[in-house]
């Protein structure tokens, strides 16, 4: 049985050598093993080793800036050769390297990425799923490859297979030679707990995948505690899987980049819901309010990052009885806005990420609200690649393909858009320079054709117009008060949608300051 050794960060990263595949824990704004990443970066700067690593993670840890946090720390030419992850955008230096073709980039759906770690741990031949069919992940399209360098590698992480006459995708496991994970406490024997995590973790999945690949598991912790002092149910990674334990630098151990520690995010304390301030009136609140009109009592709903996260605030303001679910683990509570997105104040439960996606993939969500950067006439949506910007899909594909009612939300245009709500009407002060309704999306992250085949209810909700997915593509159903149909809607699209001769007006309550008082 492995006996964990307590060492310095500098000594721990000596185990990482050229050409290894290295797993990195943390998820977006939370849980990055900062001390270990800093030690690895410093070693490369001083010694020019290790080189040509393949790095795999879920949502690349980072604070959405180019600051020296998260995976940005190791975004160095020569250190990384390939990145395999679900989402790159939290670490813009990594995303930029993929976009500039400096490293090979592969983006897998988040649920597939997490379940692939399970498959690696269990020595299973593949993760077989419908997730990704018809999207860029499909071998008929880009096969998860995000840039030319990935194409030139010739590596096929997914192939199409037929089971019982139905086509599906088989995502292929790969060995992981070392991993860097973060825990809250380590017992003297090497057992690891994660009770202060704001999100569900996948530390066990990654550690087991690495250990069962014959690899090296390196853990960073806040503190070492006495052997036997941990409650067994709090031990998330048993010492038998752990090779090295490093005590974090105190200034680098943050629950998340938004705050050093917020007890209401991990269930240690509750914050009165009435103390959570409502959104100010804006086009974002208009969108969130229109979305809130679709909510059903006592349903389980997923909210995406950005504009969709505001729906939680509106639901709280209106006193709606719904449970908000985040793919990062928290179920219930009120999702955190901005840099803290992924956490939820006063969660009712925090699932492990693998469990979240078993729930989602099986259709466990009542409905979902996801962002949309590009939409085309067929109802396809792109959120994963724009020119040289390669954020990746995160959990978008798992959620959008397997939820019965899917709502894509965002402003109608982008790039300098300025709007205000005045006298119960939407006023466009300055139109956006970038059209979001395109003839063709650059990359298919959501397939309108697949949604029609699987009979999903799909809506596209903006601050000035609402569409639904029909048999022949997008159908315009509503426009906002104060909006000119031709100038503000049709002229801002690269295609002509289908529409009724008598369009409905969006609910006027949306554009008033007072609460809507949704029944």
Catalytic residue numbers read 327
Cα→Cα distances 16→9, 19, 186, 214, 249, Å: 12, 9, 22, 13, 20
**∠ CA 516-282-258 to the nearest 5 degrees?**
105
Residues 87, 91, 97, 99, CA torsion sign: positive
CB-CB neighbours of 100 under 10 Å: 12
Cβ atoms of 107 and 85 within 8 Å: the answer is yes
Residues 274, 275, 281, 283, CA torsion sign: negative
Cα→Cα distances 241→114, 216, 419, Å: 18, 9, 54
Nearest to 190 by CA among 232, 225, 233, 234: 225
Q: How many residues does the chain have?
A: 519
The C-alpha R_g of the chain, in whole angstroms, comes to 23
Cα–Cα dist 253/32, whole Å: 9
Cα–Cα dist 432/68, whole Å: 32
Alpha helix stretches (DSSP H) within 64-183: 92-99, 110-121, 148-153
Token match 């979001």: residue?
Answer: 436
Cα→Cα distances 101→50, 55, 77, Å: 20, 16, 11
Cβ atoms of 462 and 412 within 8 Å: the answer is yes
Phi and psi based region of residue 131 (left: phi greater than 0; alpha: psi -120 to 50; beta: remaining): beta
């Amino acid at each position: 049985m492995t006996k964990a050794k307590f060492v310095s960060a500098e000594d721990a990263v000596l185990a990482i050598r050229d050409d290894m595949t290295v797993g990195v824990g943390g998820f977006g704004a939370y849980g990055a093993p900062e001390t270990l990443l800093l030690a690895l970066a410093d070693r490369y700067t001083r010694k020019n080793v290790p080189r040509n690593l393949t790095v795999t993670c879920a949502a690349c840890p980072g604070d959405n800036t180019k600051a020296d946090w998260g995976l940005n720390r190791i975004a160095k030419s020569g250190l990384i050769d390939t990145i395999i992850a679900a989402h790159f955008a939290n670490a813009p230096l990594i995303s930029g390297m993929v976009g500039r073709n400096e490293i090979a980039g592969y983006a897998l759906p988040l649920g597939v990425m997490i379940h692939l770690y399970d498959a690696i741990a269990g020595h299973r031949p593949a993760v077989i799923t419908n997730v990704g069919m018809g999207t860029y992940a499909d071998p008929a399209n880009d096969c998860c490859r995000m840039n030319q360098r990935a194409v030139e590698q010739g590596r096929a992480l997914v192939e199409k297979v037929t089971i019982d006459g139905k086509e599906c995708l088989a995502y292929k496991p790969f060995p992981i030679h070392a991993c860097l994970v973060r825990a809250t406490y380590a017992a003297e024997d090497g057992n690891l707990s994660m009770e202060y995590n704001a999100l569900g973790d996948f530390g066990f999945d990654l550690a087991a995948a690495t250990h069962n690949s014959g690899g090296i598991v390196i853990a960073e912790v806040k503190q070492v505690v006495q052997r036997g002092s941990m409650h067994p149910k709090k031990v998330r990674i048993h010492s038998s899987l752990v090779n090295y334990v490093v005590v974090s630098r105190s200034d680098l151990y943050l629950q998340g980049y938004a705050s050093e520690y917020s007890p209401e995010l991990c269930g240690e304390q509750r914050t009165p819901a009435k103390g959570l301030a409502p959104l100010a009136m804006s086009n974002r609140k208009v969108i969130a309010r229109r979305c809130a009109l679709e909510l059903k009592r006592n349903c389980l709903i997923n909210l995406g990052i950005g504009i969709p996260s505001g729906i939680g605030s509106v639901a709280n303001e209106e006193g709606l009885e719904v449970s908000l679910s985040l793919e990062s683990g928290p179920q219930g509570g009120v999702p955190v806005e901005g840099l803290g997105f992924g956490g939820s104040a006063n969660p009712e439960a925090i699932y492990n990420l693998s469990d979240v996606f078993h729930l989602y993939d099986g259709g466990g969500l009542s409905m979902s609200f996801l962002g949309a950067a590009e939409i085309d006439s067929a109802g396809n949506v792109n959120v994963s690649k724009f020119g040289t910007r390669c954020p990746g899909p995160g959990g978008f594909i798992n959620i959008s393909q397997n939820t019965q009612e899917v709502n894509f939300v965002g402003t109608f245009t982008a790039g300098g858009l300025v709007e205000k709500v005045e006298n119960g009407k939407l006023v466009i002060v300055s139109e956006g320079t970038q059209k979001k309704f395109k003839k063709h999306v650059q990359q298919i992250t959501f397939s309108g054709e697949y949604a029609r085949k699987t009979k999903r209810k799909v809506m596209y909700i903006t601050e000035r117009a609402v569409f639904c997915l029909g048999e022949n593509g997008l159908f315009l159903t509503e426009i906002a008060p104060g909006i000119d149909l031709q100038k503000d809607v049709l002229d801002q699209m690269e295609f002509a949608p289908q529409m009724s001769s008598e369009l409905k007006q969006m609910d006027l309550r949306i554009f008033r300051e007072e609460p809507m008082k949704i029944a």
